[in-house]
């Protein structure tokens, strides 16, 4: 023991003479923030990656509230609202469509009926009149003559040597006064071979009256046709003379009664070679 330490049994110097101990001064303490309570048991689950233990802040509504109208609200009507007119309009549309369909069907029936009538008159009742070479054939009070002869092709001909050009000459003469108003040209003018194959004849423009033909005067119709060269001497001319009369109103031609009153257009002339 060193001399500075003194005797253990000697009174301490910091003790007062009255025998009382000096007041104890607490040691300086470090300031620590209070720690929150933590769960010790059972142990907490470990936080998953990407997780967060912080509460999400509340998202405030930044849009201003809608303005409050100072006008009083409209009173609620106790009467039920009227139904929309769509149903009535749809019914009207259906009725209109049905009317159009019925009208179209009626027109189709009339057209088909007229077509059957034409087929019956023009096809089923056709009567073929065979005319000998160089002779005339008569139909509906009109006398007809016809010839077929080779002709030169036009300058702009694009056909080869295997095609023959033929000139058709038709002469018409009224022999009955009652047929003078039959001014229409004949129809179905064509050349036919023995096998029944046909080639159309194109008529050239002709200067002929359209209201009345003179009795006993000869009127000429000319036309051309092309046929295979090997059949040029075989094909024969045929046509159907028309029974149309110039004094018949045009609007009546589609009426069944008017057509039925006309002379049947059933005769076909064929000029033999």
Nearest to 185 by CA among 243, 127, 236: 243
Domain limits, the chain: 91-124, 130-271
Cis peptide leading into residue 42 (ω within 30°): yes
Q: What does pTM read for this prediction?
A: 0.54
Q: What is the Cα–Cα distance from 122 to 116, expressed in whole angstroms? A: 10
- The 10s digit of each residue's pLDDT in 74-133 is 555 555 555 555 555 556 665 666 666 666 655 554 554 554 445 544 445 789 999 999
pLDDT band at 177 (very low <50, low <70, confident <90, very high): very high
Report the alpha-carbon angle 161-163-166, nearest 5: 120
pLDDT of the residue at 80 = 55
pLDDT of the residue at 131 = 96
pLDDT band at 58 (very low <50, low <70, confident <90, very high): low
Q: Number of C-alpha atoms within 13 angstroms, CB side, residue 228?
A: 7
pLDDT at position 21 over 80:
no
pLDDT mean across residues, the chain: 75
The residue that leads in pLDDT, 137 or 92, is: 137
Strand order from edge to edge, sheet including 142-150: 137-139, 142-150, 163-174, 218-228, 202-203
Instruction: For residues 63-69, give the mean pLDDT.
Output: 61
- Fold for 130-271, please state it: Immunoglobulin-like (2.60.40)
- The answer to whether 163 and 224 have CB atoms below 8 angstroms apart is no
Instruction: For residues 170-193, give the mean pLDDT.
Output: 94
Q: Which of 61-65, 115-119, 151-155, 243-247 has the lowest mean pLDDT?
A: 115-119
Report the alpha-carbon angle 232-234-237, nearest 5: 90
Place of tokens 């967060």: 52
pLDDT of the residue at 120 = 47
């Amino acid at each position: 023991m060193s001399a500075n330490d003194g005797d253990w049994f000697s009174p301490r110097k910091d003790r007062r003479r009255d025998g009382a101990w000096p007041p104890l001064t607490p040691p300086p303490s470090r300031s620590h923030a209070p720690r929150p309570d933590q769960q010790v048991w059972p142990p907490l689950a470990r936080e998953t990656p990407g997780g967060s233990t912080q509460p999400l802040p509340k998202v405030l509504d930044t849009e201003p509230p809608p303005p409050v109208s100072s006008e009083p609200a409209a009173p609620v009507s106790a009467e039920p609202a009227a139904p929309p007119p769509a149903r009535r309009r749809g019914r009207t549309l259906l009725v209109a469509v049905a009317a159009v369909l019925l009208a179209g069907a009626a027109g189709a029936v009339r057209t088909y009926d007229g077509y059957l009538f034409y087929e019956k008159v023009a096809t089923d009742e056709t009567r073929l009149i065979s005319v000998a070479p160089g002779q005339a054939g008569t139909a509906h009070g009109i006398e007809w003559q016809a010839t077929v002869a080779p002709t030169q092709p036009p300058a702009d001909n694009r056909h080869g040597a295997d095609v023959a050009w033929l000139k058709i000459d038709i002469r018409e003469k009224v022999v009955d006064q009652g047929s003078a108003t039959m001014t229409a040209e004949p129809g179905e003018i064509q050349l036919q071979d023995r096998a029944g194959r046909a080639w159309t004849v194109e008529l050239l423009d002709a200067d002929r009256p359209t209201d009345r033909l003179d009795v006993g005067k000869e009127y000429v119709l000319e036309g051309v046709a092309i046929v295979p060269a090997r059949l040029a001497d075989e094909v024969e001319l045929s046509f159907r003379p028309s029974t149309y009369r110039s004094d018949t109103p045009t609007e009546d031609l589609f009426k069944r009664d008017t057509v039925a009153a006309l002379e049947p257009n059933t005769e076909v002339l064929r000029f033999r070679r």
